[in-house]
């Protein structure tokens, strides 16, 4: 009688053990690793370049030309090589005036409100979006409910535009 009681219990336990049918293939492992890396570190340089060819930044937002404040129009003359030198000024035009120094009433280092960003043009901030991404960059412009940041990624920099309602937290660094 005791044997009959334990055999069904043994069968239930055996059914709950993992089998080789549920093991992942190396390709599935590799794909999952790529997803984890992309979540943690963002897009690869090749993906950033592909987005730039479409006129988009690493976050999928349109690239903004800092000289004009207008979205970048992709074209054959578009260069994706990051440079550290300022853009050349065509002959017959005058260079833009140097940026004014920041106002003396800067918010303290630490957590800030979105409304403080207009005082921090040219300063460095750290922000976290509601989708969990953390960005550090230099504030280039604040227009209404949008902020433009220059962020450095891997071997280059990108100008990002983020909307106020996408930002979970802000911090002056």
Written as tens digits, the pLDDT of the chain (173 aa) is 555 555 555 555 565 555 555 668 889 988 888 888 777 777 777 787 787 777 787 777 887 777 677 777 766 666 555 556 666 666 665 555 555 655 567 888 889 999 999 889 989 999 999 888 888 999 999 998 999 999 887 777 888 899 999 999 999 98
Q: Is this model's pTM higher than 0.85 or not? A: no
Of 63, 150, 61, residue with least CA distance to 99? 150
Exposure class string for 14-51: b at 16+ Cβ within 10 A, else e: eeeeeeeeeeeeeeeeeeeeeeeeeeeebbeeeebeeb
Whose tokens are 């002959």? That residue is 91
């Amino acid at each position: 009688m005791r044997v009959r009681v334990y055999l069904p219990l043994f069968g239930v336990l055996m059914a709950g053990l993992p089998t080789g049918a549920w093991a992942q293939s190396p390709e599935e492992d590799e794909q999952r690793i790529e997803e984890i890396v992309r979540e943690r570190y963002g897009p690869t340089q090749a993906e950033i370049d592909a987005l730039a060819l479409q006129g988009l930044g690493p976050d999928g937002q349109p690239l903004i030309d800092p000289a004009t404040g207008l979205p970048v129009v992709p074209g054959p003359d578009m260069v994706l090589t990051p440079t550290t030198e300022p853009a050349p000024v065509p002959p017959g035009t005058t260079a833009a005036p140097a940026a004014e120094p920041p106002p003396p009433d800067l918010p303290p280092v630490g957590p800030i409100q979105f409304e403080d960003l207009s005082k921090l043009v040219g300063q460095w901030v750290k922000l976290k979006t509601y989708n969990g991404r953390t960005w550090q960059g230099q504030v280039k412009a604040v227009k209404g409910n949008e902020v433009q940041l220059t962020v450095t990624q891997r071997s280059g920099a990108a100008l990002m535009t983020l909307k106020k309602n996408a930002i979970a937290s802000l911090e002056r660094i």
